[in-house]
Amino acid sequence: MINISPSILQLGTTLGAAVIALLAIFIRSKASSKPITMRKIIIPPLGMSTGFLMFVAPFTHIPLLWAAISLVIGWFVFSYPLIRSTRFKITDGHVYADQSRSFTFILLGMLAVRMFLHQVIEQYITIPQTGALFFILAFGMIVRWRIFMLKEYKQLTQSSEPLE
């Protein structure tokens, strides 16, 4: 078995989170130039749900109460800024995400808060358990945000002319 020091693992997860956040900002800015579809709204949480397979490994197990708290924080706290900064518009019969200037700052702010919380929580539980908690938090955040997006998309497409 390979023995990786916790500080290297922590650095790797921190850099990984930063890369993912920057990638999300880049993808989101590119996505605003392409039409939104129901499929594009639904696929990310479905793809992310495969991450629950991490709980097959015993070292990622956490108490159910911790998981519930993490899910609630993601659902109600972390999803809120994403919901507030997400708007759609219809152009040429297609639905587009309306580019929000605040979205980039929201993602960077959430990354900073996440990294700070990671530092605090890792003092009390293992790194894999911390990762499990933050995965559940992110899943709750993404699911609520995407449900909001789906409702907005349906409302917009039902109230407008038929889309191609």
* Confidence tier at 1 by pLDDT (50, 70, 90): low
Is there a domain that residue 44 lies in? yes
The amino acid present at 161, given as its one-letter code, is E
| Selection from 148, 134, 125, 141 nearest residue 14 by Cα | 134
Query: What total number of domains does the chain contain?
Result: 1
Is there a domain that residue 144 lies in? yes
Is there a domain that residue 22 lies in? yes
Model confidence pLDDT, tens digit, residues 52-94: 999 999 999 999 999 999 999 999 999 999 999 999 999 998 9
Is there a domain that residue 83 lies in? yes
Contacts of 38-42 with CB under 8 Å at 24 or more apart are 38/150, 38/153, 38/154, 41/146, 41/149, 41/150, 41/153, 42/146, 42/150
Is there a domain that residue 1 lies in? no
Is there a domain that residue 163 lies in? no
Is there a domain that residue 64 lies in? yes
Model confidence pLDDT, tens digit, residues 36-53: 999 999 999 999 999 999
pLDDT value, residue 46: 97
Domain that holds residue 128: 6-158
**Cα 12 from Cα 14, distance rounded (Å):** 5
- CB of 134 within 8 A of CB of 51? no
pTM beyond 0.75: yes
Is there a domain that residue 146 lies in? yes
